[in-house]
Amino acid sequence: MGQSASTEDDEQLTQEQVDSLKSRTHFSGSELRDLYDRFIDQFPSGRINKDEFIHMYREMLPDGESTDFAVHVFNAYDKDQNGTIDFKEFMLTLSTTTRGTPEERLRWAFSLYDVNKDGILARKEIVTIISSIYKMQGMEAPLIPEKAEDTALKIFVQLDKDRDDCIDQHEFVRGITHCDGASELLQGMAGHRDSATE
């Protein structure tokens, strides 16, 4: 996003990096420095790869089958889609999921559901995410496809106001909080916590 500064081998955040993150997150400078120390402690390379992320989810949710969902969440963190989450990407999402305004959270949720990252939600993307949430919640596998289709259809009927067979960000953010059947989805996401702030 236009920044050329690389944090790769730095042990410390520069003032410039702190200022830039401060302006883009809900964290203070000292919180950012503290979070950075913990981040580097846990991920000395300064990046989280997909396997590490999945592992984090497994530890957080030892009873659920969380791998599919973790991969989708990983992709929502990894804004530049380069296969790793750097500290900046981690902070942007952590800020949104822990302290974001309702609208920020919903925009982030939208990016999570937008599996192919083309800026719109097709019904099968919603089915995909809902299935991964049901799986994580321990629903029996044979029940998942039908239940997920069912919920996705319900959501679609309510949110796709202009009936063009996809949901854009505007329709999603405006409609999802009043949407029947969507509360479990948003709960599924709330189940996602970040060890870094605990």
Residues of this chain that interact with Ca ion (CB under 5 A) are 78, 80, 82, 114, 116, 118
Rounded to the nearest whole angstrom, what is the least distance from the CB of residue 92 to Ca ion in the complex? 11
Q: Which is nearer to Ca ion, 78 or 160 (CB)?
A: 78
The one-letter amino acid code at 117 reads K
Q: Which is nearer to Ca ion, 32 or 126 (CB)?
A: 126
Rounded to the nearest whole angstrom, what is the least distance from the CB of residue 57 to Ca ion in the complex? 18
Q: Which is nearer to Ca ion, 79 or 139 (CB)?
A: 79
Instruction: Give helix then strand counts, H and E, for the chain.
Output: 10, 4
Q: Are 84 and 47 in contact (CB under 8 A)?
A: yes
Q: Which is nearer to Ca ion, 139 or 175 (CB)?
A: 175
Q: Which is nearer to Ca ion, 80 or 184 (CB)?
A: 80
Q: Are 64 and 192 in contact (CB under 8 A)?
A: no
Q: Are 21 and 35 in contact (CB under 8 A)?
A: no
Rounded to the nearest whole angstrom, what is the least distance from the CB of residue 38 to Ca ion in the complex? 19
Q: Which is nearer to Ca ion, 49 or 67 (CB)?
A: 49
DSSP letter, residue 39:
H
What are the phi and psi torsion angles at 60 (to 5°)? -70, -40
The total number of residues written for the chain in this structure: 198
Give 165's contacts (C-beta < 8 A, 6+ positions apart).
122, 123
Question: By C-alpha distance, which of 151, 161, 111, 143 is closest to 127?
Answer: 151
Rounded to the nearest whole angstrom, what is the least distance from the CB of residue 118 to Ca ion in the complex? 4
d(CA 69, CA 57): 9
